[in-house]
Copies of this chain bind each other. A is one copy, B any other.
């Protein structure tokens, strides 16, 4: 059964779904009828089963009866931010979708020296809106309780605003030098929040790595194979899920 995010807190046993896109998806795409059940997640991250009482096609809204569903949250026990160097449209859309499926809370795109793309100021808003839409759809599909926030910063220094308790930078040179233990060491400390920065296809410039290291970003290797820029964040998120959601205490 599909899940939709709603923007208002659900605080009664009746709820009216009135967002145009959600209405369209339920009534037109999925062709739900009275009596069908859809799942709703509200801003308090609670999950509700909503039985459709009436599809009002004149006012484009759906009246439902609400029941709280007591199911464990699907959110990671640690707040994870992936910060990825700007790349081509299809790659950043893909990173947004997959990072959402894999549990990221925040997805940052940033300009770096060897980025092959740069966003002009006048397109940032539109591009972020599109990525935010992709994140919303992926979050609904993967049954998340929140929609990850997608952020753009036009210089590496602005990443510091979003620093977490543990800050990492995936660094190919670390991997080449056989660095294999820092990621595990960091995760073993069970930080409440983790941010990892990922460079572009051409890697970070040495002074970018220096800047990040000086600002408490620990360089970590992610294994001996060279991963494409979009693959490394997936590796990282999968490892965090395994470590914090699947590993027997």
Contacts and interface: CB of A to CB of B under 8 A. Distances in A.
B247 A102 contact: no
A221 B225 CA distance: 26
A61 B221 CA distance: 37
Given A234-B234, A241-B235, A242-B239, A227 B102 contact: yes
A5 to B, nearest CB: 15
A206 interface: no
A238 interface: yes
B231 A246 contact: no
Given A101-B231, A238-B235, A225 B180 contact: no
Contact of A184 (B183, B226, B234, B248): B248
The 8 A-B residue pairs with the shortest CB-CB distance in the complex, in nearest-first order: A238-B238, A235-B238, A74-B224, A239-B242, A142-B225, A181-B248, A223-B241, A142-B226
Contacts of A236: 238
Interface in A81-124: 98, 101-103
Contacts of A235: 102, 234, 238, 241-242
Contact of A238 (B180, B228, B234): B234
Contacts of A144: 225
Contacts of A245: 180, 223-224
Interface in A212-240: 221-228, 231, 234-236, 238-239
User: Within the oligomer, what is the number of copies of this chain?
Assistant: 2
A64 B100 CA distance: 47
B246 A223 contact: yes
Q: How extensive is the interface on chain A, given as a class?
A: 35 or more
Nearest to A245: B223
Interface of A: 72-74, 98, 101-103, 141-144, 178, 180-181, 183-185, 221-228, 231, 234-236, 238-239, 241-243, 245-248
Nearest to A247: B184
Contacts of A102: 225, 227, 231, 235
A1 B235 CA distance: 24
A228 B101 CA distance: 8
Given A142-B225, A226-B143, A184 B238 contact: no
A47 to B, nearest CB: 12
